[in-house]
Structure 1
Amino acid sequence: MQAVGITTQQEVFIVSKERKFRINEILILEDEALHFPRGEVIETLSYNRFIPMGLDKSLVDHQVIQTLENIGYNVNADEINLAKLRLYEEASHPIRTGCAVRLPRFEEVRDLLVKSTPEEAMLLGEIRGTESLSSSITSDLLDQVVLMEQGSLRSQQGVPFLFDIRTMQQYPHVGVFGGSGSGKSFGLRVMLEELMKLRIPTIVFDPHFEMDFSQTAAGMEERNPGYTNRFVKVQVGQEVGIQFTDLSTRDLTGLLTAAGGGLSESMVNVVQMVHKKRDSYTSFSDRINNLVQALEEGKQGLEKQLRNDHLTPTEVQRIRDLQKLLNQYSTLPLSSVKGIDWRLKRLEAVGLFQQDIRSIITGLEQGKLVVVQGSTWVLQVFATYVIGALYSRRRAFKDARMNGEEGEFFPPFVIVTDEAHNFAPKAIESPTKSILKEIAQEGRKYGAFLFLATQRPTLLDETITAQLNTKFVFRTVRGTDIATLREETDLTPEEGKRLPYLRSGDTFISSAVFGRTIFIRIRCAHTTSPHLANPFDELQVVANEKNEKIIQALRSQLPLFDTDLLQAVAQINQSFGLNWDIARLKSELNRLDQEGFIKKHQTPFAVRYDIP
């Protein structure tokens, strides 16, 4: 292998007749004057006698071809392997043309690939293009991961990728981007397993109900350390909720905004005037509901009701209370009060005010991963409250320490969410986005960090995207998303062209820690999602179970004549809890006949169904 063509301080072409180059592999240029610079293969190409030189302009030009001929390559007969090598560090002058190129030993490139140890870092996968280093990798990095290739498991062949979470103190927050089927959710699962391994307190907002870590993946029985005691799974409205009495007027305004879109100024005014400190849900909702009635009746309507001589003392007192309420809040628009009333009832309907967040706080204090599940809009509402509450606890502790006081300890923690563009949408203000933006900009100082995953980085708030110092970029097809990622990362034009064609589980990592883009394959997860089963397999299983149930119901009835169907359907419905009529039974009998489970005979007197 040697350098050919015109070289620069950043890039050089290399050629070989014996060896095919691998994309992303590391090579060393034996240019002593530049202290043997290192580089990464960013583009490869092979020519042979069946492909005339010069037809493809992507990698070679006239100068490269001329150089090949001058140093003895027969461009019309030999198979020639070419590669473009990008240097890791800019050279002080161009590389010497013709200098030899060789594969490195692991100790020569360890500083480029490994920044921590497997025990202290997140072990996420294998660095692509490092297979040639397998013979010289040190023992502490051998057999660390298992990967899935072409549907089967394989052992580690290259250098494992270690993400040192301690560096987030300097370079905070992580973004995970990729289209449907790219491996984004799978990669997020692996990251959460590693956070559990390191006992990092983490709260996960799971709108897809898939972040369960109790089931071991096939083939991972020996490597699964056991996550059952390291995570807690709760659902909004059942195990967790919001303690209404703890809400400030500002908190309540944020919740109501998230519950039904933005609040008008008059709606905000309603909350600020009607809500009182330490209000319970019952007291506040009753006050709002009574105010709606008072505004609907009006001053004259209430006075007319008082003139009724048949009212009980209780009814009289209730009307006087409505009059008092009307006098106090007569300036509030009825439509705005109704809007607040509707949002309150919507939140109550999902059980949001029936629980508190003590189980979340306890889980984080124990160093566990807390999975919060619910529909997307419910999670948006709940996240507005719980993230603010947790962040306030952490800030209060850190501020107390800064002032020399003994505050109540609350641990640093990580916030993780899928479909992050729903929580922090671009160009749309929302309470959830406000708190996430605050953490994105200031959370590093207090020990609060973000892991945000989304299929649509273009729809994620730009301020937050800019604060994600490490980005995992899986397969992305949409041009606008690729353009956004190119702007927010150091992906080269060549890497950008590869994004639509990446295999599921392959990802580019643009990290400020490494100072460059790294291409890796995510390791096989130790656990599996409860939704991993193929839905078409599920359909077949259900169909088989249905056939077995019907045949079992009919077995005691066969042979069966169509004149006996009324009696047969009554017995089948009673025995198996069905609700069939004769038409449904005949339809099922005809289907089973077509599929060969029973046999239909046409006799001169009636149709007979029998065992085939």
Structure 2
Amino acid sequence: MQVVGITTQQEVYIASRERKFRINEILILEDADLNNPRGEVVETLAYNRLIPMGLDKSLVDAQVIRSLEQIGYNIDSDEINLAKLRLYEEAPHPVRTGCSVRLPRFEEVRNLLVKTTPQEGMLLGEIRGTESLADSLSEDLANQVVIMEQGDLRSQQGVPFLFDIKTMQQYPHVGVFGGSGSGKSFGLRVMLEELMKLKIPTIVFDPHFEMDFSDRVPGLEDRGCSFTERFVSVQVGQQAGISFSHLSTRDITELLGAAGGHLTESMINVVQMLHRRRDSYTSFSDRLNNLVQALEEGKHGLERQLRNADLTPAEAARVRDLMQLLQQYGTLPLSSVKGIHWRLNRLEKAGLFQHDIRTIEQGMEQGKLVVVQGNAWILQVFATYVIGALYRKRREYKDARMNGEEGHFFPPFVVVTDEAHNFAPKAIDSPAKSILKEIAQEGRKYGVFLFLATQRPTLLDETITAQLNTKFVFRTVRGTDIATLREETDLTPEEGKRLPYLRSGDTFVSSAVFGRTIFIRIRCAYTRSPHLDNPFDELKQKSNERDERVLQTISAQLPMFDTDLVQAVAQVNRECGLNWDVARLKQELDHLAGSGRLKKHETPFTTRYDK
């Protein structure tokens, strides 16, 4: 392998007759004047005279061809392998043309590829283009990951990719971007497994109910740790909620805004006027409900009720209470009070005020991964409260330490969410956006970090996107999203062109820690998502199971005639949990006969079904 053509301080061209170059592989240029610089292959090409070339647009230009001819390559007959190599560090002067190029040994490039150990870092995958380093790989890095390739598991062939989570103190927050089917959610699962391995407290908001780590992948049971004891799953309204009495007036205002859209100034005034410190849900709701009744009746209506001779003492006392409420808050608009009351009822019906976040706090204090599940809208409301509450506990502890006080310890933690553009959309207010922006900008000082995944980086708040110092970029097709990623990362034009064609599970990692983009393949996850089954296989399986139940139910009645179907359909509905009529049963029997599982005999008078 030799350097050919015109060279610069940043890029050179390399040619070889025998060896085909791998994209993203590392090579060493034997130029002693530059202390043998290292570089990465960013573009490759195989050239011969049988392939027509547009010399003005190709990697091969006229200067490269002349250089090849001068050093002995037969352009007319040889197949020539060419590569563009970008140096990791800019050279003080151009590389010497004609110098030899060789493959490195692992120790020569270790500092470029590995920043930590498998025990202390997140073992996320395999670095593409490092297969040539396998023979010289150090023992501590060998056989660390299993890769899924073309549907089959294979052992590690290159250098494992280790993400040093300790560097997040200096370069905080991670973004995971990719379109549907790109492997984004799969990659996020691998990251969560590694956070559990390191026992880092993590809270995950899971709107798709897929973050379960109980089911292990067959053949990988001995890999990783036992995840069952390292995560806890809670559902909003069932195991987790909000203790209403702990809410401040500002908290309630934010929650109600999240429940039904933007609050008007008049609605905010209603909350500020009516809410009292340490109010329970019942006391606040009753006050709202009573005020609605008082405003609807009006002063004259209440006075008319008091003049009613049939009124009991208890009813009269209630009317006087309503009059007092009307006198105190009668200036508040009825529509605004009703709007607040409706939003409060919506949150209560979702079960938000029936529990507290103690289960989540205990899981975090134990170093577990806490998965919070629920519908998208209720998760956004709940995330506003719970992220703020946990962040305040951590911040209060750190501030107390800074002031020389002891404080109650609350651990540093990571906030993870899929569909992050729904939690922090660009140019639109959302419930959790303000707290996520605060953590993105200041969380590093307190040990609180973000892992945000989204299919649409263009729709994610720009302030937050700018604070994501490490970005995993999976296959992305939309031009606007590719343009956004190009602006926010150091992806080259060549890498940007590759984005729409990446295989599922391949990703570019743009990291401030490495100072460049690394191309990796995410390792096989040790656990499986509960939604992994193909829906069409599920449809076929359920259909076959139903047919089997129906066959077993009617088998004792065979042979069966048309005249028997009324009695048969009642039994089928009862034993199989169906709601068929006679016509539907006949259609299913004809279907079973067509598939060869029953025999159908047509006569002039009736139809008979038999085994």
What TM-score do you get using the length of structure 1 for normalisation? 0.98
Are the structure 2 counterparts of residues 56 and 45 from structure 1 closer, same or farther at C-alpha, using a change threshold of 3 Å?
farther
Which has the higher mean CA deviation after the structures are superposed, 344-353 or 324-333?
A: 324-333
Which has the higher mean CA deviation after the structures are superposed, 249-258 or 594-603?
A: 594-603
Residue aligning to 2:589: 589
Helix, strand or coil at the partner of 1:347: helix
Residue aligning to 2:336: 336
What is the Cα deviation at residue 56 of structure 1? Answer: 7.5
Residue aligning to 2:49: 49
CA distance in 1, matches of 2:241, 2:52: 69
Residue aligning to 1:80: 80
Map 1:316-395 → 2, pairs under 5 A: 316-395=316-395
CA distance in 1, matches of 2:18, 2:571: 78
User: Is 2:55–2:62's contact at 8 Å kept on the other side of the alignment?
Assistant: no
Note the alpha carbon deviations across 1:461-498, whole angstroms, 9 max, x for none. 00000000000000000111100000000000000000
Stretches of 4+ aligned residues off by more than 6 angstroms: none
Residue aligning to 2:430: 430
Map 1:165-244 → 2, pairs under 5 A: 165-244=165-244
CA distance in 2, matches of 1:52, 1:404: 74
Note the alpha carbon deviations across 1:526-584, whole angstroms, 9 max, x for none. 10101101111101110110110111111011111112222222333344443332112
Helix, strand or coil at the partner of 2:557: coil
CA distance in 2, matches of 1:534, 1:172: 37
Q: Which amino acid aligns with 2:339?
A: G
CA distance in 1, matches of 2:575, 2:261: 51
Q: Which amino acid aligns with 2:171?
A: Y
What TM-score do you get using the length of structure 2 for normalisation? 0.99
User: Is 2:124–2:162's contact at 8 Å kept on the other side of the alignment?
Assistant: yes
Is it true that 1:600 corresponds to 2:600 in the alignment?
yes
Residue aligning to 2:297: 297
Residue aligning to 1:549: 549
CA distance in 2, matches of 1:578, 1:500: 46
CA distance in 2, matches of 1:432, 1:482: 26
Residue aligning to 2:462: 462
Q: Which amino acid aligns with 2:316?
A: V
Residue aligning to 2:140: 140
Residue aligning to 2:6: 6
User: Is 1:217–1:527's contact at 8 Å kept on the other side of the alignment?
Assistant: yes
User: Is 1:202–1:415's contact at 8 Å kept on the other side of the alignment?
Assistant: yes
Q: Count matched residues.
A: 611
CA distance in 1, matches of 2:63, 2:299: 93
Are the structure 2 counterparts of residues 567 and 608 from structure 1 closer, same or farther at C-alpha, using a change threshold of 3 Å?
same
CA distance in 2, matches of 1:142, 1:107: 14
Helix, strand or coil at the partner of 1:157: coil
What is the Cα deviation at residue 318 of structure 1? Answer: 1.4
Which has the higher mean CA deviation after the structures are superposed, 22-31 or 258-267?
A: 258-267
Residue aligning to 1:23: 23
Are the structure 2 counterparts of residues 56 and 142 from structure 1 closer, same or farther at C-alpha, using a change threshold of 3 Å?
farther
What is the Cα deviation at residue 341 of structure 1? Answer: 0.7
What is the Cα deviation at residue 596 of structure 1? Answer: 1.5
Note the alpha carbon deviations across 1:336-359, whole angstroms, 9 max, x for none. 111111110110011000000001
CA distance in 2, matches of 1:571, 1:486: 64
CA distance in 2, matches of 1:326, 1:443: 46
Is it true that 1:281 corresponds to 2:285 in the alignment?
no
Is it true that 1:408 corresponds to 2:408 in the alignment?
yes
Note the alpha carbon deviations across 1:234-285, whole angstroms, 9 max, x for none. 1000001000000000111111111111111111111111110000000001
Unaligned ranges ≥5, structure 1: none
User: Is 1:52–1:76's contact at 8 Å kept on the other side of the alignment?
Assistant: no
Note the alpha carbon deviations across 1:74-122, whole angstroms, 9 max, x for none. 2221101111101100011111111111111111100100000101000
Q: Which amino acid aligns with 2:40?
A: E
Helix, strand or coil at the partner of 2:136: coil
User: Is 2:197–2:224's contact at 8 Å kept on the other side of the alignment?
Assistant: no
Are the structure 2 counterparts of residues 285 and 146 from structure 1 closer, same or farther at C-alpha, using a change threshold of 3 Å?
same
User: Is 1:224–1:527's contact at 8 Å kept on the other side of the alignment?
Assistant: no
User: Is 2:550–2:576's contact at 8 Å kept on the other side of the alignment?
Assistant: no
Q: Quote the RMSD (CA, aligned, Å).
A: 1.1
User: Is 2:4–2:68's contact at 8 Å kept on the other side of the alignment?
Assistant: yes
Note the alpha carbon deviations across 1:137-160, whole angstroms, 9 max, x for none. 110100000000010000001000
CA distance in 2, matches of 1:53, 1:463: 45
Helix, strand or coil at the partner of 2:200: coil
Note the alpha carbon deviations across 1:379-427, whole angstroms, 9 max, x for none. 1000000000000000110011000011000000000000001111100
Are the structure 2 counterparts of residues 170 and 40 from structure 1 closer, same or farther at C-alpha, using a change threshold of 3 Å?
same
User: Is 1:53–1:76's contact at 8 Å kept on the other side of the alignment?
Assistant: no
Map 1:96-107 → 2, pairs under 5 A: 96-107=96-107
Helix, strand or coil at the partner of 1:496: helix
Q: Which amino acid aligns with 1:339?
A: G
Residue aligning to 2:505: 505
Are the structure 2 counterparts of residues 584 and 75 from structure 1 closer, same or farther at C-alpha, using a change threshold of 3 Å?
same
CA distance in 2, matches of 1:214, 1:575: 33
Helix, strand or coil at the partner of 1:416: strand
User: Is 1:113–1:161's contact at 8 Å kept on the other side of the alignment?
Assistant: yes
Q: Which amino acid aligns with 2:52?
A: P
What is the Cα deviation at residue 290 of structure 1? Answer: 1.1
What is the Cα deviation at residue 43 of structure 1? Answer: 0.5
Residue aligning to 1:482: 482
User: Is 1:469–1:511's contact at 8 Å kept on the other side of the alignment?
Assistant: yes
CA distance in 2, matches of 1:304, 1:60: 96
Percent identity (aligned): 78
What is the Cα deviation at residue 299 of structure 1? Answer: 1.6
Note the alpha carbon deviations across 1:324-376, whole angstroms, 9 max, x for none. 11111122111111111111011001100000000111001111110110011
Are the structure 2 counterparts of residues 424 and 588 from structure 1 closer, same or farther at C-alpha, using a change threshold of 3 Å?
same
What is the Cα deviation at residue 54 of structure 1? Answer: 3.9
CA distance in 2, matches of 1:578, 1:336: 48
Unaligned ranges ≥5, structure 2: none
User: Is 1:53–1:75's contact at 8 Å kept on the other side of the alignment?
Assistant: no
